Each structure stands twice: as C-alpha cells, then as structure tokens.
Amino acid sequence: MSANGRLDGAWWPRCDALELELPALVGSFDPGIGTVTRVTVETAAWPDAPQEVMAPSHAIEVVPTDSAAEAHAITVDCGTVGSWEPLVIPPDEPARVAGRLLTAAADPTNPLSVPRH
C-alpha cells in the first residue's frame, strides 16, 4: 500500500463498533509498514468511536473529524512510515454493492479518491 491521494484499498467492517472492528483491520496490514499509531474517522460514520482502541500489542489513538470528505474513509497513520486511506464500505451495504466497491478499490489503475466514490 502507498498513500498517494488515491484509494488505498477498501474495508467492509461487519458492524459500526470501531473497538471491535479496528483490531482486525490493523491485523491485516503488512507488518513492514510499521505500527498503526492513530486512525482518523468521521464522526457521522462512527458516532460512538472511543478515544482509543486496543490492538493486540498497543493502543491506537482515535481522532474524530467532521470532514464530509472523510465520510467514507478512515485514515490509518503509521508514525513516520506514512498513512493510508482505505474506502470504508458501510456494514449494512448489500454484498453485491460491497463486492463491486472492494474490487474497484483494489484496482491499482483506479484513479478515484474516497470522496469521489
């Protein structure tokens, strides 16, 4: 993954409880990218987000934002290594639609950013 203004993949959590879903997302990252230290989430999409979430070996700071551009995204910061912005597919999205979005987000030639999806 690389942070370049385009989609950095996609994430389809099972529910909107960030404290339950975030550890699995973080666990799916390549360990070579470093330790996830912070995530930024949009408050409308994650209204009950805690201030921190425990990953298997450390706490991850959760930073809320009111940016409409971040409504369907989560920014994952890995300290000095960089940050990634995957598309967040709402948990209640139908499988057909979620599958299409997951495929599009995984396409390295897809030039769209999160706000334009």
For residue 90, the domain's CATH number is 3.30.2320
Query: Does any domain span residue 5?
Result: no
pLDDT tens digits for range 44-62: 888 899 999 998 888 999 9
3-state secondary structure the chain: CCCCCCCCCEECCCCCCHHHHHHHHHHCCCHHHCCCCEEEEECCCCCCCCCEEECCCCEEEEEEECCHHHCCEEEEECCCCCEECCEECCCCCCHHHHHHHHHHHHCCCCCCCHHHC
Integer Cα distance of 58 and 46 in angstroms: 21
Tell me the pTM.
0.81
> Tell me: the pLDDT tens digits for 51-100?
999 988 889 999 999 876 666 889 999 877 888 889 999 999 999 999 99
Q: What percent of the chain has pLDDT over 90?
A: 43
Tell me, yes or no, whether 114 lies in a domain: no
- Answer whether residue 3 is part of any domain: no
Domain assignment present for 117: no
Amino acid letter, 109:
T
Number of domains in the chain: 1
Examine residue 59 and state whether it is found in any structural domain, yes or no: yes
Sequence-separated (6 or more) residues with CB below 8 Å from residue 19: 50, 53, 54
Q: Is residue 111 part of a domain?
A: no
Question: Residue 51: phi, psi to the nearest 5?
Answer: -75, -20
Kindly state whether residue 26 falls inside one of the protein's structural domains: yes
Q: Which domain holds residue 78?
A: 10-106
